[in-house]
Structure 1
């Protein structure tokens, strides 16, 4: 399976990301941009998006991007900084980009935005296995 095909394959087999309504916007090696619309059931008691929703979108973009090199890769460390609160109906994107990819370890930054406004920043480290993605 080629790099750009892998995120679509992953999404087709990811019930949680499908429930979130995540759509793939753009993919290339080491990069993936996804988007979703916030729904009422994604809100916390203050009627703002639950932090786990923003984290999940970023984590999905990160997972897709780090697997585009053709080897199965898994996260080994992640963190997120929430900058702005989000509300029902907001459309947000997560853009994951590789900053350094070594033989086994990769370092990624994911920017989560509402329109052009940065609303969260996610950092992730991935471990690339020797297993190839196959159809």
Structure 2
């Protein structure tokens, strides 16, 4: 399967990302951009977006980009830095770029933005299996 089609297939099989309202904005080999709009039910007790929302958006971009090389890739380590508090109605994008891909490991950086403003920075490592996307 072509790498740029894999994120769309993955989203069609991903009930959680669909429930969050995540959409694929762009997809190419080693680079995927996704987006969502923060809804009221995504807010925490301080009336700000729960940290899990930007994390989940970034994690989805990360997973989709890591799989564009055509092999099933699974997360083995991730971290996020939350830079700015987010509000209901904010439109977020997360763009994942593969920094390095080896036979078994891939290293990704994901920038989460509100417009042009960086609001979170996510890093992840994937294990690349031998199973092909079909």
Residues 65-120 of structure 1: CA distance to partner in whole angstroms, max 9, x if unpaired?
Answer: 00000000001000000000000000000000000101110100000000000000
Aligned residues: 134
CA distance in 2, matches of 1:54, 1:119: 9
CA distance in 1, matches of 2:110, 2:59: 8
Could you say which residue in structure 2 is the equivalent of 1:90? 90
Could you say which residue in structure 2 is the equivalent of 1:104? 104
Runs of 4+ in 1 over 2 A off after TM superposition: none
Could you say which residue in structure 2 is the equivalent of 1:114? 114
Uncovered stretches (5+) of structure 2, i.e. residues with no partner? none
Uncovered stretches (5+) of structure 1, i.e. residues with no partner? none
The alignment yields a C-alpha RMSD, in angstroms, of 0.4
CA distance in 1, matches of 2:21, 2:103: 33
Residue 34 of structure 2 is aligned to residue 15 of structure 1: no
After TM superposition, the score normalised by the length of structure 1 is 0.98
Could you say which residue in structure 1 is the equivalent of 2:3? 3
After TM superposition, the score normalised by the length of structure 2 is 0.99
Equivalent position SS for 1:89: coil
CA distance in 2, matches of 1:53, 1:27: 21
Query: In the TM superposition, what are the counterparts of 1:58-69 in structure 2 within 5 Å?
Result: 58-69=58-69
